[in-house]
Amino acid sequence: MSWFERVTRTAEQNEKWMARARTPETRARIRRWSRLETLGAILMMSGVVPLFIHPVAVLVIVIWFNHWYVYVGYFGGAVGALLAGAALSSHALDKRLDAMYADGHSSIGRVDEVITHPGSGDEPTTYDLMVSVELPGPTTLRRRVGWGDGGLHPSRFTRRAIRFRHNALDPDDLGDVRFDGWPDETKGAGR
């Protein structure tokens, strides 16, 4: 997915979630963290472009300035912008996702099934935890929680209790989910 597609998709997602938000404060939090996430992405791009044209820049710096500190400043600035943008974007993404589910419901369900998506080459294996929770009445919510590679193997999660947040009570809105921890772990040991 290209950077432009990601930004467009994020903007559409934000509009959807802001419409679901119950309070103006939550809408403002979503908007603020989305802007900071975009700023981080722009900062990353401002570091990537100089690194991409690095070979040409080295020639220009050596011929034009002939000072090592200009090269160090150029390279250090590019790497610094890239790292700062990545950190800001990552932090803002997590906070934006928290804000999107701030007005939602918290439920404790169970992991019914673990679906494995094997990686190929450099891509790691990922998993989908199929989760369900029975609400009062005949309604059973089903959600799909994405799980990356690392830590305990997700096959050990089957039948385990899981806490998650969701905004809608639609039984089959699989994507309306935010992992919120394992209720059987002590406070703070989860997410």
Q: Which residue has the tokens 């999660």?
A: 157
Is residue 44 pLDDT above 80, yes or no?
yes
How confident is the model over 10-27, as a mean pLDDT? 76
Nearest 10 degrees: CA dihedral of 141, 146, 152, 157?
20
The tokens of 141 are what? 């919510």
Pairwise CA distance, residues 70 & 72, whole Å = 5
| Residue 31 pLDDT greater than 60, yes or no | yes
pLDDT at 189: 44
pLDDT band for 127, please (50, 70, 90 cuts): confident
Say what angle helices 3-20 and 24-52 make with each other, to 10 degrees: 170
| Domain ranges, ordered by start, for the chain | 3-100, 105-181
- pLDDT-derived band at 191 (thresholds 50, 70, 90) equals very low
The token duo for 177 is 């989910």
Is the pLDDT confidence value at 6 over 70?
Answer: no
- Mean pLDDT over each residue of the chain, to the nearest integer: 82
pLDDT for 4 equals 67
Give the residue ranges of DSSP H helices in the chain. Answer: 3-20, 24-52, 54-60, 68-100
